[in-house]
A and B are shown apart, each in its own frame.
Chain A
Amino acid sequence: MKSTFFTLALLGAVLCLGANRTLALDGAVVIANSSVAADSLGADAIKDIYTGKTKYWDGGQVVVIAMLPDKTDAALQQACGMDTSAFKTFWQRLAFSGRGQEPKKASSTDELVKLVADTKGAIAIVPADAALTGVKKLEIK
């Protein structure tokens, strides 16, 4: 009886952990290439993209993740639960087993914005003060 109660309590606690997931990015926003139809994304949808579960936008265009290593670490952690090192290893595992393509890297905020502007299907987390030229800012639902 005790063990049944404990199991149910544990199950309930685990389920509660997944409830009402919201996302607030510290000092960052999410942008996308203008070819992306979506104007907003939910926290789970962003996480699914950054963890490789969603690889295509509605309509079939491939999702291309672009990133700025070291500059948006906190926001990346909030979006997908991984820091930059873990994120890099995660995508190397997918790429080197033929199951995905590694995120594209930029070396500056301006370069990242330009990369997203020039790459169909691209999405990126950029510093909130970035000049967003030629890209669309996605609202986080």
Chain B
Amino acid sequence: MKKSMFNSTTILSITASILAAGGVQAYELKLGTNLPPVDLHGFVSQGFLYSSDYNYLADDSKNGSFKFSEAGVNAAFNPFARTHIAAQGFLFDTGNVGQYHPFLDYASIDYTVNDQFGLRAGRIRRPAGIYNAIQDIDLARTFVLLPQGMYDARWRDWSAGLDGGDIFGNISLKKAGSVSYEFYGGLVNMADNGGVARYAENGLPPSPVGQFDGIGATPVVGGQLWYNTPLDGLRLGASLAFMDGFSYDVTVIPPYGPGTIHSEGNVILQQYSAEYSIKNWTFQAEYSTYDFTGNRFAPAYGNANIGATGDNPATWYVAASYRFNKYFESGVYYTQFRDYSTDSANPDGHQNDLALCLRVDPKDWWTFKIEGHYIEGTGLLRDSSHNPVRDGNGWFMLAVKTTFSF
């Protein structure tokens, strides 16, 4: 708890320093008379989570938790014709994931041949649906928490980016609108203490009987298509990704072992999206699913196949938001998560969430949000040790977040 408070204080201190320095506007770094300036932007978000029945997204949200923060600084410039370079340093903390360790979030160079075709290489954000590429940028959305079955705040190391490249462009269909595309390939580097690792660890018997050893880097290929319809504000999207050789290792001792168990398989992700903005209203609907199919092997026994493993959940949501004026915006969504590998009567097999949010923008550089959730099911808690007893009764959650940006 002490560590949590210290880090929250540190983040808020950085924010205060930025504001005190008057640096609330984007900063432009001039490199010389013949070079274009570098645009610098940044943000700091500090959140608070409180839940009535379970510890969710934070180890101690039942007591109220401030372990819900993000901060980033990015730089972008165009050194040559049709060339764009961008990079962002980032840190975050969501419960026991992230823990304020700074890392290079993205760093890429792209060359746009024309509106129809461009290439990008480096560490890039993975496009999927409306929010995946900006899932942890609080100021770029209405809600504090996105539907967690689709945009799990703890899983960003798995979902947010990759090291590789992509091609992109926008193809005009004339009167029928246009199609934007992005196709990518590369390597997803997951952390041994990241959200997906914690998820795998959550399924093990308690340590020292079960011990999580590590998670492998995973090749991924995929793409995102957006059809920008001729109806102003309406776009339809589809995303597909394939991860080949997703793997992790665990060690177990008696009565489950002894030995190392290597799990390996393929993951297919699909996501379908619709977004319609008209006047002050924005309506969104998305559906996503992934299918992990694999096998478990025991290296200590000649790499014998000791059984299949897999995961096949799906999530959908519908959302509506309304901006009253430049200061106030409100939004509501309803989402259902369903884990098809678990019996539907099991509270861990589903999670339904009704959320209502109020966003206030007192200044151009300051955003404040407060959001209430009524939740049924416990399928996304993914933290058995802090929630030993679970049932199907409804429960409440409060999420508050404030973001300063420049």
Contact = CB atoms under 8 A, between A and B. Distances in A.
Given A17-B230, A61-B81, A101 B39 contact: yes
A60 B277 contact: no
B84 A18 contact: no
A120 B86 CA distance: 19
18 contacts: A17-B231, A18-B176, A18-B230, A18-B231, A44-B172, A59-B81, A60-B82, A82-B277, A85-B329, A92-B134, A92-B137, A92-B139, A93-B134, A93-B137, A96-B88, A98-B87, A101-B84, A105-B25
A15 interface: yes
B231 A98 contact: no
Contacts of B43: 96
B124 A98 contact: yes
Nearest to A18: B230
Interface stretch (B49-57, B71-79, B147-155, B206-214): B71-79
Contacts, number: 106
B125 A98 contact: yes
A102 B231 contact: no
A1 B212 CA distance: 59
A18 B177 contact: yes
Nearest to B108: A98
Given A19-B230, A96-B72, A102-B41, 10 more contacts: A18-B230, A53-B170, A59-B81, A60-B81, A81-B233, A96-B134, A96-B137, A97-B137, A98-B88, A105-B25
A96 B74 contact: yes
B193 interface: no
A98 B82 CA distance: 15
Nearest to B124: A98
B342 interface: no
Contacts of A100: 76, 84
Given A15-B175, A53-B178, A92 B323 contact: no
Interface in A41-57: 44, 48, 53-56
A95 interface: yes
B81 A56 contact: yes
A82 B235 CA distance: 14
Contact of A15 (B25, B39, B176, B323): B176
Q: How large is the interface on B (under 10, 10 to 19, 20 to 34, 35 or more residues)?
A: 35 or more
Contacts of B175: 15, 18-19
A26 interface: no
A84 B234 CA distance: 18
A81 to B, nearest CB: 4
Interface of A: 14-15, 17-19, 44, 48, 53-56, 59-62, 69-70, 81-86, 89, 92-93, 95-102, 104-105, 120
A102 B39 contact: yes
A97 B115 contact: no
B76 A98 contact: yes
B140 interface: yes
A14 B175 CA distance: 9
Interface string B32-48: 00001001010100000
Contacts of B177: 18
Nearest to A47: B232
B125 A86 contact: no
Nearest to B323: A85
Contacts of A15: 175-176, 230
A102 B26 contact: yes
A127 B282 CA distance: 28
Contacts of B7: none
Contacts of A19: 175, 230
Contacts of B134: 92-93, 96-97
Nearest to B109: A98
Nearest to A61: B81
A89 B280 CA distance: 13
